[in-house]
Chains A and B, each alone.
Chain A
């Protein structure tokens, strides 16, 4: 049973560029959440997708956007990259019907470096 898979694992961009990160949820899961983990910090919630719609959003600017596809996979897009966007981006999947919400399954992350 494949867990949460993310791609790419590492990437380097320059300021002002745009980036797309991809996530495939654990088999059977229908909800995908994205988190940003800066170096030495805990993950911070970006947004959550369910039924192809953004359901919840954390305190992140509109430069951060996402998408969920009918097969439940998801993309995170970041426009106009800033140096401060350098971080590990984590995707987590869950089953909306499962409670408590905190039982998330995380991927290994995509490490983004902005130069």
Chain B
């Protein structure tokens, strides 16, 4: 069945460091792909999305490119801030129209 695998955390970075969180997926066809973020004490929020191959989703300085040849959707940010500390979830749209999530990667950014 469809699934998402993302890098294990936690990830600890210094402010202004470069961030990459790896995400690969297994699916039939070409589902829409998403990154959701969960800030402490808040609900999950959509960070960015891509609906077809080679699409680049971007928001708040974060980017991810839908790569069908490597079945990947890695999240990147050039310069992280303390306020980016959160748990990040990669997800794909399943055949039932639901979301299938990875296990999440906790990011801590130190000043």
Contact = CB atoms under 8 A, between A and B. Distances in A.
Interface residues of B, number: 26
Given A45-B94, A45-B100, A56-B96, A102 B32 contact: yes
Nearest to A56: B96
B98 A45 contact: yes
A58 B103 contact: no
Contacts, number: 68
- Indicate the size class of the contact surface on chain A: 20 to 34
B32 A90 contact: no
A40 B8 CA distance: 10
Interface in A81-103: 90, 92, 100-103
CB-based closest 8 A-B pairs: A42-B101, A45-B98, A106-B44, A100-B32, A106-B43, A56-B96, A101-B97, A108-B43
